[in-house]
Structure 1
Amino acid sequence: MKMKEKRTARDSAPSKGLVLGLALAVIGAMVGAAEILKIEDIIFPEAAALTIGFWIAPVCPWRVEPQKGVAMMVIAGVLGYGISALLPAPLLVKIAAGYGCGAALIVLSRSSLYPVFSAVMLPVILGVDTSAYVAAVAVLASVILLLSGAVHGGAGAAQPEQEGALPVKVQLIRFGLLLAFVLILAVLGVRLGHMMFIAPPLIVGAAGIVDNPKPIPILLLVKILILCAAAAVLGAGCRLALTETMGIAAWISAAAAFALVLLLAWRWGLWFPPAGAVTLLAYLVPARGLPTYFLWIALGAAALGASAVAVRLITKKQTDKPLRY
């Protein structure tokens, strides 16, 4: 009976082509709305990561129910906007506060929706000061997460929330150690004048690495690094060549860049959602920074990836014990 139910759900799911078309439409509509309304803060790069994780990837990498996920993303967006626009503190303090809010959402919810880190830290790092950002996060998260069941034929996309979760104590230690590395890299980014060194999608990826209880092969991490660098090249390249040089609408070049990243991920069999966000983040970078965008993303991915691996090695003894659920 269960086999029959699964087969029925699979048969009722939309075709892969339709799902890809819907994902590209969401990205194009988001960037197009930002162009028409001339409100850059409507562009939420993590929307690309959410479509990959909840719609396109064979298995959703995050443990969270859609309704709870929407609430988490909205809360993260509100916190990020509040820290960026209302907290009278130095940038490094704001970065620490934003990171802390993201970690708290993960630990308290007992889920693994790591894109909340990006939702909190993007406005902090980019200096977002308009409430349009919160509205964009709410709309995009609602559309993507609440439609995930329909995209998968009613079977749902996310894994059970408690499956594979680390003990809270270990989570707190790992997230705390990663924060120390993030702040060190943030200081370096400020000194160099390139905050993409700690781009929010890269922090999402690093958080996923430190919070994963399973061993992660080094070769896989190298492939992820290459994919993120390639996504940065495609995002910056499409914007620079198609929009900045040829005058083609940004929503067209953004959709094209995202499509190319999806093609690359499919060819490699590597569905790493933050790579999609890296692609769209290029549309929030000043035009003068596009030629070197991929370089700072590659360096940041390598630095944050190495930091995440270091955190896992430092806390290895604590995870040798049986996990508590």
Structure 2
Amino acid sequence: MTLFAETLNEKEIIFPEITALAVGYMVAKNRSWKVNGKRMLSLITGCAIIGVCIVRFVPFDTYIEVILAFTIAQVIFMFSGTTFAPFVSAIVLPVMMHTTSIVYPIAAFVLTLLVILFHKLFLFQGIRADEEYVPVMLNSRDDMVDTSIRILCVTVIAGVAFRTGYRFVVAPPLLVAFTEFSRPRNKTRNMPVKTVAVITVCAIIGVISRYFFAIWIGLPITISAIVATSGMLIVIHFTKMYMPPVGAITMLSMIISESVLITYPIQIFVGSSLILFLSRMIFMRRQDNKLYEKEHELHAE
């Protein structure tokens, strides 16, 4: 991906969320989401197109466009029949990066298709066990309340982040993580310190790799991406924290402005700390108090 982006001089080919898909769909011992290949491909591609269209045709400032993109993603999430959250990043990323090129959704489609094909190859080779996909229902009254609270939280946090100039406090992969952490029975939020540490370390790995190899030594950014991805895989292997968003957070450091690199890990630390705090204090409390009318993830009709 990074090699093609450099060769063709098309930064839009770099789709950070593909690393998250690889972690969740290929690296993790168990599939991270209830989804199948067809829905994964259609959700990622469709949301990538919507994101580019927002940048092209919606005449608002970036903050409003990001909130609009996140809101659309949350509504789609409720009615997607899946627990697949990475498409949130697919729609928000082009808005935050001001991407108008059709290359972005094409790259998202092709790269997602490759992940799906490799997953099928792993199944064929017996490297991974097949898991049946059963559509889920995430549009109950309580799900709608959760969605509304998520949108409100992101609206407030993003408002402060954009006003202060630290917009990566709401980096697209963190919005994916927030969507996942705030769902019922999420186990990751039970380990907040470890979770924030792993996310932040992966951001640091990405920044150091890009700065040392691409900026200081002057090597192709592909080398930085390879080193950073390898470092990220080592971290999640030894910590046993197979969180797909950390892959996207690592790769995002390859395409952000050089002027942001020095503060990027700090912004990611602040953002991840906030979403963990909110996920525990707001969502986990009301979910654990059994305020829900019915069990989540009921089989869809």
- TM-score normalised according to structure 2 size: 0.91
Residue of structure 1 aligned with 2:171, choices 199, 204, 216: 199
1:318 aligns with 2:291: yes
Unpaired runs of 5+ in structure 2? none
Structure 1 counterpart of 2:76: 105
1:302 aligns with 2:273: yes
Output one character per residue of 1:188-221: Cα deviation in whole Å (capped at 9) or x when no partner.
111111211100101101101122x215365523
What is the alpha-carbon root mean square deviation over aligned residues? 1.9
Structure 2 counterpart of 1:58: 29
1:55-204 residue pairs with structure 2 within 5 A? 55-153=26-124, 160-162=133-135, 166=138, 168-204=140-176
* Cα 1:73/1:157, change in 2 over 3 Å: farther
Q: Bigger CA drift: 258-267 or 138-147?
A: 138-147
Could you tell me which amino acid in structure 1 is paired with residue 291 of structure 2? Q
* Cα 1:169/1:131, change in 2 over 3 Å: same
* Cα 1:42/1:187, change in 2 over 3 Å: same
Contact persistence 1:66–1:148 (CA under 8 A): no
1:293 aligns with 2:241: no
Question: Equivalents in 1 of 2:227, 2:205: separation in Å?
Answer: 9
Could you tell me which amino acid in structure 1 is paired with residue 152 of structure 2? A
* Cα 1:314/1:264, change in 2 over 3 Å: closer
Question: Residue 270 of structure 1: SS of its match in structure 2?
Answer: coil
Structure 2 counterpart of 1:280: 251
Q: Bigger CA drift: 259-268 or 102-111?
A: 102-111
Structure 2 counterpart of 1:22: none
Q: Bigger CA drift: 217-226 or 200-209?
A: 217-226
Question: Equivalents in 2 of 1:305, 1:86: separation in Å?
Answer: 34
Could you tell me which amino acid in structure 2 is paired with residue 41 of structure 1? E
Contact persistence 1:103–1:117 (CA under 8 A): yes
Could you tell me which amino acid in structure 1 is paired with residue 175 of structure 2? I
1:210 aligns with 2:182: yes
Question: Equivalents in 2 of 1:127, 1:277: separation in Å?
Answer: 18
Give 1:90 deviation, angstroms.
Answer: 2.6
Residue of structure 2 aligned with 1:241, choices 208, 212, 232: 212
Output one character per residue of 1:158-179: Cα deviation in whole Å (capped at 9) or x when no partner.
553346x555322221121011
Could you tell me which amino acid in structure 2 is paired with residue 266 of structure 1? H
Question: Equivalents in 1 of 2:108, 2:158: separation in Å?
Answer: 24
Question: Equivalents in 2 of 1:297, 1:158: separation in Å?
Answer: 33
1:231 aligns with 2:195: no
Could you tell me which amino acid in structure 2 is paired with residue 34 of structure 1? A
* Cα 1:218/1:247, change in 2 over 3 Å: same
Question: Equivalents in 2 of 1:322, 1:269: separation in Å?
Answer: 28
Could you tell me which amino acid in structure 1 is paired with residue 210 of structure 2? R
Could you tell me which amino acid in structure 1 is paired with residue 7 of structure 2? I
Question: Equivalents in 2 of 1:48, 1:293: separation in Å?
Answer: 18
Question: Equivalents in 2 of 1:142, 1:217: separation in Å?
Answer: 28
Question: Residue 200 of structure 2: SS of its match in structure 1?
Answer: helix
From the two aligned structures, give the one with the greater helix fraction: 1
Question: Equivalents in 1 of 2:30, 2:186: separation in Å?
Answer: 18
Q: Give the paired residue count.
A: 294
Question: Equivalents in 1 of 2:130, 2:71: separation in Å?
Answer: 27
Give 1:108 deviation, angstroms.
Answer: 1.4
Output one character per residue of 1:104-152: Cα deviation in whole Å (capped at 9) or x when no partner.
2221121011001000000111111111111111111111123312223
Q: Bigger CA drift: 144-153 or 128-137?
A: 144-153
Question: Residue 261 of structure 2: SS of its match in structure 1?
Answer: helix
Contact persistence 1:74–1:134 (CA under 8 A): yes
Contact persistence 1:54–1:158 (CA under 8 A): no
Question: Equivalents in 1 of 2:96, 2:134: separation in Å?
Answer: 30
